[in-house]
Amino acid sequence: MSSSIFNPPSSTTALLLRSRHPVLVGPTSLRFLTVRSSSPSSRVLSVAASATEESAMVIDGKAVAKQIREEIAVEVSKMKEAVGVIPGLAVILVGDRKDSATYVRNKKKACESVGINSLEVNLPEDSTEEEVLNYISGYNDDPAVHGILVQLPLPSHMNEQNVLNAVRIEKDVDGFHPLNIGRLAMRGRDPLFVPCTPKGCIELLHRYDISIKGKRAVVIGRSNIVGMPAALLLQREDATVSVVHSRTSNPEEITRQADIIISAVGQPNMVRKSWIKPGAVIIDVGINPVDDPSSSRGYKLVGDVCYEEAIQVASAITPVPGGVGPMTIAMLLQNTLSSAKRIHGFE
């Protein structure tokens, strides 16, 4: 089935990651797939892959994110010991949207779990833009703050572009500043930060040893926060990239050519079996609530990709939830750590 684009695993030891689905990679009936660690000191996870006909390997974002947080925790404590500095992330939340409050709480918890200091300010809905800018200015100058994150969306009376542009580029851990995006697009230049969600997508491919160079990649969606930077990242790694969007006349036909699909459009189950080349790898960024009477909440979360169909034809796929989602916060922690390292010349 799959003209596998995986590199052969180099190690098959250690922890067995539980996957909710049986795994098939390539033509062999039983093999191990290594989840790589970027830090040579930390252990190498591996997935025991037992064969079941037509069922993709599940890319376990939750497990990878956990591993990355462990690596970050080690680095944070090393840095504290060596130079006496603890990385700090400041989060600015304006208004009382419940979803935003939840995101901010999760970020705070994640910081705590790795030893990063988190500062938080919660401003009332009717704050002025100037008040927000004052807080940003304070954090820009605060040597204990290495990353500044403004939780979006802002109340409608504020100019989002003005607010985001006020964050010092050296502390723009979200990576959304146009100067960062420009550097991401340009060969021979390097951004200070890469936006967290697309960075998490690529990190998953790396950790699963999925080769990108020379592969056909299709990114579905061209948003500033996911699709566009994901396409630039894939191209930086020498993929041949096509971007499919709402004006594309034949998205199915183009997507079917991809070895790697990254979908980020927010359309539940849009990508069907017929869109997927056998053996393709799928990174599903969509997190879409759909009605589900069987759930106590009355809804469930699904991706942009019809999971039940995709696992029959793809060679690997991220689940929703538990795929890209957990990676976003892990990458935010990583950006904050690397900002602190850069500012203090550590490593």
The contact set with a second copy (CB under 8 A) reads 161, 177-189, 213-214, 216, 222-224, 228, 232, 235, 238, 240-245, 247-249, 254
Judge residue 159's burial from the number of C-beta atoms within 10 Å of its C-beta, 0-12 exposed, 13-18 middle, 19 or more buried.
exposed
Annotated catalytic, 107? Answer: yes
Going from the C-alpha of 211 to that of each of 16, 129, 343, the distances in angstroms are 22, 45, 32
Q: Which of 60, 151, 171, 304 is catalytic?
A: 151
For residue 13, count CB atoms less than 10 angstroms from its CB and return exposed for 0-12, middle for 13-18, buried for 19 or more. Answer: exposed
Active site (annotated) includes residue 235? no
**Least separation, in Å, of the C-beta of 157 and a second copy?**
18
Q: Quick one: 39 or 223, whose CB is closer to a second copy?
A: 223
d(CA 172, CA 295): 39
Catalytic site residue from 60, 107, 215, 334: 107
The catalytic residue among 67, 171, 172, 174 is: 174
CB nearer a second copy, residue 184 or residue 282: 184
The CA radius of gyration of the chain, in Å to the nearest whole number, is 20
* Shortest distance (Å) from residue 203 CB to a second copy: 21
* Two structure tokens written together for 5: 């684009």
- Closest separation between CB of residue 240 and a second copy, Å? 4
Q: Which is nearer to a second copy, 238 or 308 (CB)?
A: 238
- For the record, the structure tokens of 138 come out as 């304070």
Q: Which residue's entry shows tokens 């080690």?
A: 74
> Prior bond to 198 cis, omega within 30?
no
Give the nearest distance from C-beta 7 to a second copy in angstroms.
16
For a second copy, the closer CB: 241 or 280 = 241
User: What positions carry a catalytic annotation?
Assistant: 107, 151, 174
